Structure 1
Amino acid sequence: MPDERYQPLVQLIHNRAGDAFRGAVRYDADDWEPLYLRDDVATENLKDALPTITDRARANESIVPPEEYGRLGERQATVELHDRAAVLHFKESEHGGIIVSLDRDVAQGLGQFVNSCDAVLDGREPGGSASGLR
């Protein structure tokens, strides 16, 4: 059963992205677990790929480290836009974090969405527009 600590985040993403929410996976130094996988995404191919995906996420380094150029502030999330999906990576610790996948068309309004997700992960109320990503 997924860690209950992440249920508010999963609920926020469902509320904001609706059917465009493809999946979310939590990982730490030793393991990973799906928090949610949409039926068409939960394939054997994905399950086979997740160990490699989470290994790469653990090794993720910021392109602009704050100690080198602090004018941008702390990194909140990393975003990859693919042909059919937007992938958000929320790094929670040196070896742990959350990977969220959304259909690509929801990439509009991504900054506010990242702020809301970050607030939920920090135990705060999400702010901003209730209109979500679309």
Structure 2
Amino acid sequence: MDWVTPVISGSAGIIGASVGLFSNLISSRSQRKLNETDRLQRVRDAKFIVYNQVLDLNGREPILEPGKGRGWRAELYLRHVRPVLFKNYHLLGAKVRRQVRTIDIHRQRKRWGLLTEEDDPDSLEYMYYLKLMELIEEEYQSFT
């Protein structure tokens, strides 16, 4: 019976250490999930701050003026909206990023003289910009 006491003591120590290790693993996993959730929330908040800024600029600046001349004031887009988008480009949704690049690519083709006769540069850019605003609004709908 002299051997029973050390076995019980040793078993209790092993069980205690196992419970502590298991608790630590669960706590660590929970903390990682919480940190990841917090990080995703901060990224989402930053993305919507950018969208808010763009929608604010769109409301304050006459970037689109239907019925007046070309209806599209690219210089205002380039001066006000595009810098906000590219400062935070990594935060934008994939569709919004693609639409921003579509506008940029079209403007490059226009500058380089590579547009075809069917391309009406201002009408296309006008429509691309409308689509950009629509995609930003869709991001809000998918959020709620």
Q: TM-score range by the shorter chain?
A: under 0.3
TM-score normalised according to structure 2 size: 0.26
Rg larger for: 2
Which structure carries more helix by proportion? Answer: 2
Which structure carries more strand by proportion? Answer: 1
